[in-house]
Structure 1
Amino acid sequence: MKYDPLDQVAEHFLRDSQPRRVASRNERDLLRLIWKSPGIERSDLTEPLDLTQQSLHRIAARLHDRGMIVFTSSEARRPGPPSPELSLCKDWCLTLGISVNVGSIGLCLMGFGEPLEKMEIAQSGSSLSDEMDRIEKAAEDLLARRNASRRDILGVGLAVSGHRMLETAFNCPLPLAHWSLIDLAPLLGKQLGLPVWADNVARTAALAEAIFGVGREVADFAYIAHLHGYGGGLVSGGMPFRGSFGNAGEFSVLFDREDYDDRPALGLLLEHLRAKGRPGLTLRDLKNQDLSTWDGVAEWADRVTPAHNRAINAICAVFDPALIVLGGELPHSLARMLIERTEINNLPRHGALRDVPRLAVAEVLDAPGAVGAALIPLFETVL
Structure 2
Amino acid sequence: MKYVPLDHVAPHFLRDAQPLRVASRNERDLLRLIWKSPGIERSDLTEPLDLTQQSLHRIVGRLHDRGMLVLSPSESRRPGPPSPELSLCRDWCLTLGISVNVGSIGLCLMGFGEPLENMEIAQSGSSLALEMERIEAAVEDLLARRGAKRRDILGVGLAVAGHRMLETAFNCPLPLAHWSLIDLAPLLGEQLGLPVWADNVARTAALAEAIFGVGRDVADFAYIAHLHGYGGGLVSGGMPFRGSFGNAGEYSVLFGRQDYDDRPALSVLLRDLHARGRPDLTLKDLKNENLVEWDGVAEWVDRVTPAHNRTINAICAVFDPALIVLGGELPHSLARMLIERTEFNNLPRHGALRDVPRLAVAEVIDAPGAIGAALIPLFETVL
Aligned AA (2:156): V
**What are structure 1's unaligned runs of at least 5 residues?**
none
Identity level (%): 89
Q: Which residue of 2 aligns with 1:252?
A: 252
Q: Which residue of 2 aligns with 1:170?
A: 170
Q: CA deviation at 1:283?
A: 1.7
Is 1:76–2:62 an aligned residue pair?
A: no
Q: Residues of 1 paired with 2:112 and 2:19: CA distance?
A: 23
Q: Residues of 2 paired with 1:22 and 1:370: CA distance?
A: 23
Q: Residues of 1 paired with 2:303 and 2:79: CA distance?
A: 66
Q: Which residue of 1 aligns with 2:327?
A: 327
Q: CA deviation at 1:236?
A: 0.1
Q: CA deviation at 1:17?
A: 0.9
Q: Residues of 2 paired with 1:244 and 1:374: CA distance?
A: 23
After superposition, what is the alpha-carbon deviation per residue over 1:105-156, rounded to whole angstroms, capped at 9, x for unaligned?
0000000000000000000000000000000000000000000010000000
Q: Is the 8 A contact 1:292 1:337 kept in 2?
A: no
Q: Which residue of 2 aligns with 1:349?
A: 349
Provide the secondary structure at the position in 2 that maps to 1:87.
strand
Aligned AA (1:47): E
Q: Is the 8 A contact 1:104 1:121 kept in 2?
A: yes
Q: Is the 8 A contact 1:332 1:361 kept in 2?
A: yes
Q: CA deviation at 1:290?
A: 2.1
Is 1:338–2:338 an aligned residue pair?
A: yes
Q: Residues of 2 paired with 1:122 and 1:23: CA distance?
A: 37
Provide the secondary structure at the position in 1 that maps to 2:321.
coil
Is 1:133–2:133 an aligned residue pair?
A: yes
Q: Residues of 1 paired with 2:325 and 2:215: CA distance?
A: 8
Q: CA deviation at 1:53?
A: 0.3
Is 1:187–2:187 an aligned residue pair?
A: yes
- The two structures, once aligned, show a CA RMSD in angstroms of 0.5
Q: CA deviation at 1:286?
A: 1.8
Q: CA deviation at 1:18?
A: 1.4
Q: Residues of 2 paired with 1:137 and 1:323: CA distance?
A: 39
After superposition, what is the alpha-carbon deviation per residue over 1:72-131, rounded to whole angstroms, capped at 9, x for unaligned?
000111111000000000000000000000000000000000000000000000000000
Please, what TM-score do these two structures have when normalized by structure 1?
Answer: 0.99
Aligned AA (1:346): N
Q: Which residue of 1 aligns with 2:89?
A: 89
Q: Residues of 2 paired with 1:243 and 1:61: CA distance?
A: 38
Q: Residues of 2 paired with 1:177 and 1:149: CA distance?
A: 32
Aligned AA (1:25): R
Q: Which runs of 4+ in 1 moved over 3 A?
A: none
Q: Residues of 1 paired with 2:287 and 2:142: CA distance?
A: 23
Task: Count residues in correspondence.
Answer: 383
Q: Which residue of 1 aligns with 2:238?
A: 238
Q: Residues of 2 paired with 1:77 and 1:288: CA distance?
A: 51
Q: Residues of 2 paired with 1:3 and 1:255: CA distance?
A: 34
Q: Which residue of 1 aligns with 2:57?
A: 57
After superposition, what is the alpha-carbon deviation per residue over 1:317-336, rounded to whole angstroms, capped at 9, x for unaligned?
00000000000000111101
Q: Which residue of 2 aligns with 1:98?
A: 98
After superposition, what is the alpha-carbon deviation per residue over 1:161-187, rounded to whole angstroms, capped at 9, x for unaligned?
000011100000000000000000000
Q: Is the 8 A contact 1:97 1:107 kept in 2?
A: yes
Aligned AA (1:313): N
Q: CA deviation at 1:291?
A: 2.4
Q: Which residue of 2 aligns with 1:39?
A: 39
**What are structure 2's unaligned runs of at least 5 residues?**
none
Q: Residues of 1 paired with 2:251 and 2:20: CA distance?
A: 38
Provide the secondary structure at the position in 2 that maps to 1:91.
helix
Q: Residues of 2 paired with 1:73 and 1:88: CA distance?
A: 15
After superposition, what is the alpha-carbon deviation per residue over 1:324-364, rounded to whole angstroms, capped at 9, x for unaligned?
00000001111011111110111110010000000000000
Please, what TM-score do these two structures have when normalized by structure 2?
Answer: 0.99
